[in-house]
Structure formats: C-alpha cells, structure tokens
Amino acid sequence: MKPSHIEHIGIAVKSLDEAIPYYERLLGTTCYAIETVIDQKVKTAFFKIGDTKIELLESTDPEGPVGKFIEKKGEGIHHIAFAVNGLEAALDDVREAGIKLIDEQPRKGAEGLHIAFLHPKSTFGVLTELCEDKNKQTK
Ligand code: CMX
C-alpha cells in the first residue's frame, strides 16, 4: 500500500457555525460543502488546501463517534485520511500487517468517497481512514 496524499484531516468541533468562520479566515477560502452523514451521526464542512481537505465534524448525536470523542477528549484533531488507489487491496495489506480494522469492507463516506477506518488502538492512537475516489483515481 502506498497512499498518494493526505486526503483530509478530520477535526471535531462543537459547532460548525462557530468553527467555519475561523477556518475561512485562517485558510483564506470559503467552505465549499456542508454534508450530513446520517449513519456516522455527523454534519461535515469542507475546505480545500492544495490536494488536501480540512473536514470539520459536528456531532448530530451525543452517542455518535464524534459526540463521544468530544465528550471524552474535547474538540480537536479526530482522524487523518489517506488517499489510496485500490481500497480493497489496501485493506488486505492492512489485515496482513495485523492492524485492526473498524470497517472490514469499504463503505460510502462524505463526498461519495469509498472509505474504511483502521482502529486507533492498533495505529498508535490515531484514528486512520483510507479512502478512494473512484471518479478521480490518483497517481
Ligand atoms: N482518535 C483516537 N482515539 C479514539 C478516537 C479517535 N478519533 N475515538 C475513540 N478513540 C478511543 C477512545 O479514546 C477510547 O480509548 P480508551 O479505551 O483508551 O478510553 C477507545 O477509542 C474507545 O472509544 P469509545 O469512546 O468507547 O468509542 P467506541 O469504542 O464506541 O468507538 C471507534 C471508537 C474509534 C471504534 C469509533 O469512534 C469509530 O468507529 N470511529 C470511526 C468512524 C468515525 O469516527 N466516523 C466519524 C467521521 C465521519 C466521516 O469522516 O465520514
């Protein structure tokens, strides 16, 4: 497996309304998309910075993964996502390396990406996402 780039960094925030203006000013760009991912119990807001995105995550349910994260650790960096070509093969590599998967199979994430999470307990404490954009294969 050889990721092509950091696809996005996920940042847990209590309020998108409060965080968006800060990031717009910091990055000198506007938020280009807001999307609710119902099954993940989050509302997301996206910014582009080069090939990488910043994904702000506001929980829609205190029992969802981001709600629980904020309750335990407060706001902050929640996960890092690497872009790969061939997500199924990448997951086979990860399995072979003995890394624990949260998602055994790719599933649909925000922006129509195919995604899978690796468990932070086997990735040195960093919730790690692998993702593939089937419409935009990276080199
Ligand atoms: N980064 C690092 N560690 C994390 C973490 C994170 N983002 N989220 C949870 N953990 C740790 C907790 O601190 C806890 O550690 P301790 O056992 O040492 O206390 C442990 O993982 C278990 O946490 P928990 O609060 O009991 O939560 P669960 O076990 O129910 O779930 C996890 C943990 C990682 C499996 C779950 O949050 C998950 O499936 N995450 C992936 C999906 C996700 O985060 N989706 C939101 C993003 C949506 C998107 O981008 O599309």
Q: Identify the pLDDT of residue 112.
A: 87
42 within ligand 1 shell (Cβ under 6 A): yes
Query: Cβ distance 119 to 79 under 8 Å?
Result: no
The third-level CATH classification (topology) of the domain covering 5-132 is 2,3-Dihydroxybiphenyl 1,2-Dioxygenase; domain 1 (3.10.180)
pLDDT digits (tens, 9 = 90+) for 19-45: 999 999 999 999 999 999 998 999 999
pLDDT digits (tens, 9 = 90+) for 78-121: 999 999 999 999 999 999 999 999 999 999 988 889 999 999 99
What length does the chain have? 139
Q: CA-to-CA distance for 122 and 128, rounded, in angstroms?
A: 10
In terms of Cα–Cα distance, which of 114, 105, 117 is closest to 134?
114
Neighbours of 117 (CB within 10 A): 20
72 within ligand 1 shell (Cβ under 6 A): yes
pLDDT-derived band of residue 139, with 50, 70 and 90 as boundaries?
very low
Q: If you search the block for the tokens 């000013």, which residue do you land on? A: 25
- Residue whose Cα lies nearest atom 25 of ligand 1: it is 68
Q: CA-to-CA distance for 119 and 136, rounded, in angstroms?
A: 26
